[in-house]
C-alpha cells in the first residue's frame, strides 16, 4: 500500500466506499422489505375494519389511503348486531375476562409453591418433579382432552367456568414452574438461610421473602399467561361447549363460519380480540418479550 500513488489510493477508497455504500443500501432495503411484509397483513385488516361495507366491496384497502373515509361503524355493528352467531361480541368480551383472570392467577399460585419446593427445600423427589415438569411442558394438549372431558362428565363440570379455569391452571403450570424455578435459583442462598432464622416456617419465607423478591419474574409470567389464555381457542371449544360462555376467539371463529366474506365484520371482530394483547405488548413490552421468550416451548 505504501507504493501506491495518491491517485490510485483515491480510486481504491472510492471503490471501497462504493461497495460499502451499496452494501449498506442493500441492508436497508432488505430490512424495509421484511418490515413491510410483516406489517402489511395486520395493517390491511386494520384499515379494512375502518372502511364501510360498500367501500370494501368496491376496492382494495390499499386504495383507501387516498380516499381517507374511515369510521368506527363496523366496531359498533359487530358489538351490537344480534344477528351474529349468539351471544354476540359484548358477551364474548365479558366471557374472555371471566375466563382469563382466574386462569392467570391460579397457575401462578400453584406453580410458585412447587417451584419454591424444588429450589429451596431438600425434599427427595424435587429433582424428579423438575424433570417431570420439563417433560410435561411439551406434551401436546390434544392427547389429554378426551380423558379430561370424560372426567369432567363424571364430576358434572363440563361447560362450567370451573372446568376451564382448572384446565388452564393445569396446562399453564409446567411452564410457570420452569420459569419460576430459573428465577428462584438466582436468589442468593444467604438470604434464604438468614430468613430461616427469622421465619417460623416455609410459608413465611415464601410470602415474605421469595415472592417479593420475584416480582419481575411474576410479572413476566402473569403477562405471558394472560395473553396465552386470552388468545386460546381450542381449550375454550373443547371445555366450554356452550355458546353463552364462548370467549372472543371462539366468537371470531364462529363469525368466520357464518360470514366468510363479510370482511367489515370479520376485520372489526379480529381487531377487537387483538386490542388487549397489543395494548399489553406496547405498555409492558420488556416483561412481555421476556415472558414469551422464556415460554418458547409452551403450547
Residues between 45 and 64 with contacts to another protein, criterion CB under 8 A: 45, 48, 56, 58-62
Q: Is 74 in the site for another protein (CB under 8 A)?
A: no
User: Given candidates 21, 191, 198, 299, which one binds another protein under the rule CB under 8 A?
Assistant: 299
Residue 161, judged by CB atoms within 10 A of its CB (0-12, 13-18, 19+), counts as middle
Residue 299, judged by CB atoms within 10 A of its CB (0-12, 13-18, 19+), counts as exposed
Q: Is 289 in the site for another protein (CB under 8 A)?
A: yes
Least distance in angstroms from the C-beta of 45 to another protein: 5
Least distance in angstroms from the C-beta of 23 to another protein: 7
User: Given candidates 78, 174, 179, 210, which one binds another protein under the rule CB under 8 A?
Assistant: 174
Q: Is 144 in the site for another protein (CB under 8 A)?
A: yes
Write out the DSSP string of 123-164: -TTHHHHHHHHHHHHTS-THHHHHHHHHHHHHHT-TTSHHHH
Determine the Cα–Cα distance for residues 263 and 280; give it in Å rounded to an integer: 26
Q: Is 140 in the site for another protein (CB under 8 A)?
A: yes
User: Given candidates 50, 78, 119, 167, which one binds another protein under the rule CB under 8 A?
Assistant: 167
> Taking contact as CB under 8 A, which single stretch among the options 7-15, 68-76, 213-221, 285-293 is the one that binds another protein?
285-293
Q: Is 11 in the site for another protein (CB under 8 A)?
A: no
Residue 173, judged by CB atoms within 10 A of its CB (0-12, 13-18, 19+), counts as buried
Site string for another protein, 251-270 (x = CB under 8 A): -xx--x------x--xx-xx
Of residues 7 and 154, the one with the C-beta less far from another protein: 154
E strand residue ranges, 143-261: none
C-alpha distances (whole Å) from 101 to each of 43, 164, 205 are: 29, 12, 26
Contact at 8 Å (CB) between 231 and 249? yes
Q: Is 27 in the site for another protein (CB under 8 A)?
A: yes
Grid-cell match 396446562, residue found: 171
User: Given candidates 111, 180, 217, 240, which one binds another protein under the rule CB under 8 A?
Assistant: 111
Grid cell listed for 278? 397489543
Of residues 70 and 202, the one with the C-beta less far from another protein: 202
Least distance in angstroms from the C-beta of 221 to another protein: 14
Q: Is 151 in the site for another protein (CB under 8 A)?
A: yes
Determine the Cα–Cα distance for residues 91 and 257; give it in Å rounded to an integer: 19
Amino acid at each position: 500500500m505504501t507504493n501506491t500513488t495518491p491517485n490510485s489510493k483515491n480510486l481504491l477508497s472510492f471503490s471501497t466506499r462504493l461497495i460499502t455504500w451499496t452494501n449498506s443500501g442493500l441492508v436497508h432495503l432488505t430490512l424495509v422489505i421484511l418490515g413491510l411484509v410483516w406489517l402489511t397483513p395486520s395493517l390491511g385488516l386494520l384499515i379494512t375494519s375502518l372502511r364501510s361495507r360498500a367501500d370494501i366491496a368496491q376496492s382494495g384497502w390499499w386504495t383507501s389511503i387516498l380516499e381517507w373515509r374511515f369510521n368506527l361503524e363496523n366496531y359498533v355493528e359487530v358489538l351490537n348486531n344480534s344477528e351474529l352467531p349468539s351471544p354476540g361480541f359484548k358477551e364474548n368480551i365479558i366471557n374472555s375476562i371471566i375466563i382469563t383472570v382466574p386462569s392467570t392467577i391460579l397457575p401462578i399460585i400453584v406453580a410458585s409453591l412447587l417451584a419454591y419446593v424444588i429450589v429451596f427445600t431438600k425434599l427427595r423427589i424435587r429433582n424428579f418433579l423438575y424433570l417431570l415438569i420439563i417433560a410435561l411442558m411439551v406434551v401436546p394438549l390434544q392427547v389429554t382432552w378426551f380423558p379430561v372431558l370424560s372426567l369432567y362428565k363424571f364430576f358434572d363440570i363440563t361447560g362450567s367456568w370451573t372446568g376451564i379455569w382448572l384446565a388452564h391452571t393445569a396446562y399453564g403450570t409446567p411452564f410457570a414452574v420452569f420459569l419460576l424455578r430459573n428465577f428462584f435459583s438466582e436468589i442468593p442462598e444467604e438470604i434464604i438461610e438468614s430468613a430461616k432464622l427469622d421465619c417460623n416456617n416455609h410459608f413465611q419465607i415464601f410470602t415474605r421473602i421469595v415472592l417479593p423478591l420475584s416480582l419481575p419474574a411474576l410479572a413476566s409470567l402473569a403477562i405471558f399467561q394472560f395473553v396465552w389464555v386470552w388468545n386460546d381457542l381450542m381449550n375454550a371449544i373443547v371445555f366450554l361447549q356452550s355458546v353463552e360462555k364462548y370467549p372472543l376467539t371462539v366468537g371470531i371463529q364462529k363469525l368466520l363460519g357464518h360470514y366468510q366474506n363479510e370482511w367489515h365484520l370479520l376485520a372489526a371482530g379480529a381487531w377487537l380480540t387483538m386490542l388487549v394483547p397489543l395494548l399489553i405488548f406496547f405498555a409492558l413490552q420488556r416483561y412481555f418479550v421476556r415472558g414469551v421468550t422464556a415460554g418458547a416451548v409452551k403450547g
